[in-house]
Amino acid sequence: MIYMVEMALIDLSRRVEWDAWYLSHMKMLISIPGIRATQRFESLTPHASPFVALHQVTGPDVFTSDAYRAKAGPGGTGVWKDRMNNWHRNVLSGIDQTPEVPMGGALVVVEHGANVPLPVQWTEPVGLDRSIVRRGFAVVSRRAEAEPLARLPGVRVCLPLTPRLVAA
């Protein structure tokens, strides 16, 4: 399953500090039982929630575990909680593993009803916000191949900010 988090940073002047915090947050997340991998992205074009994180989880029960509640979730973001908005959290079924997007590649996020000229893996929300109907993902190995897709309705191209981190 995939746990997808989308958000915006309110004060972009603190971006460097936030990026450093988020990387340490990702490393902490994969120490929680049931969270297997994580990767972070930024939308190529303007979006209400331009920052995206995909976390591979074993199931929705991860979010009710003592380990998760003690370290993560909205309370686990510390001072950054009030510095982010347009925050959406969805647990998605349909894909067992988060895609590994190379640093020179792109993640293509496809909304329900949109069409793209490449194979898409579709997911459906099964937990947390359930703020989407259906969402698809595709990986393009080179950014230049993905850039034209960003102009399609219902398609968001996201560039990796980090490599995919995997739990030990």
Summarised one tens digit per residue, pLDDT across range 87-143 is 999 999 999 999 999 999 999 999 999 999 999 999 999 999 999 999 999 999 999
pTM attached to this predicted model: 0.94
Sort strands 51-57 and 35-43 into parallel, antiparallel or unpaired.
antiparallel
Nearest to 39 by CA among 21, 51, 48, 49: 51
Q: Of 3.30.2420, 3.40.50, 3.30.70, 1.10.287, which CATH number belongs to 2-166?
A: 3.30.70
E strand or H helix that includes residue 79: none
Rounded distance between C-alpha atoms, residue 5 and residue 27, angstroms: 15
pLDDT for residue 76: 72
